[in-house]
Amino acid sequence: MKFKKYTLPIYWACYLVNGDSSGMEEEEIQEVDAFLERNGLGFCVDMDNEQEFARSNDCNNLGGAVADFTFAS
């Protein structure tokens, strides 16, 4: 099994870690799912809880709070 780390929006955390999409718009869920599929990622196995502001992340160019997520692939 291989692991990959990505810096992603912090508000994706509940969906990526727990599969809980409550509070997310349908377009946001589709963006997350498309990112996972495009990168061939499996489940999220770890999340670095340190939040920081970034001008962009590994999925889009929107600034905001981010965290590092590790995925099994």
**pLDDT tens per residue across span 13-42:** 999 999 999 999 999 999 999 999 999 998
Confidence of residue 51 (pLDDT cuts 50, 70, 90): confident
Instruction: Decide if pLDDT at 4 tops 80.
Output: yes
Handedness of CA 27, 2, 53, 20 (dihedral sign): positive
Give phi and psi for 66, each to the nearest 5: -130, 165
Domain that holds residue 14: 3-72
pLDDT at 73 over 80: no
Q: Give the pLDDT of residue 10.
A: 94
Give the total number of structural domains in the chain. 1
Which pTM was predicted?
Answer: 0.89
